[in-house]
Structure 1
């Protein structure tokens, strides 16, 4: 059964077969980045929110 799935993927997505996959946030925008603005320090990233579109995607 697993071989059939791989063959199906090769027929449907031939250009993706040999591409590496990477983890991506999917919606990284300024409104999803939390920044600390303490008066004594330079601004720094303290968090990233809204991970609903995150996943592993092929590099292309």
Structure 2
């Protein structure tokens, strides 16, 4: 095997492992959007804030 080809394959393998590690790290820090319930804040944040403000005023 040519020396340049071997160096390229080693660097490509290291790059691939680094990309897989970064992808796993990012995916472990986030959640699937469908996993969360429909919270009041997510459905209509402006309406729920108005209701909360009215309750605190009374």
- TM-score of Structure 1 vs Structure 2, range by shorter chain: under 0.3
Higher relative contact order (CA 8 A, sep 6+): 1
Rg bigger for which structure?
A: 2
- TM-score, length-scaled by structure 1: 0.21
Q: Which has the higher strand share?
A: 1
**TM-score, length of structure 2 as denominator length:** 0.21
Q: Which has the higher helix share?
A: 2
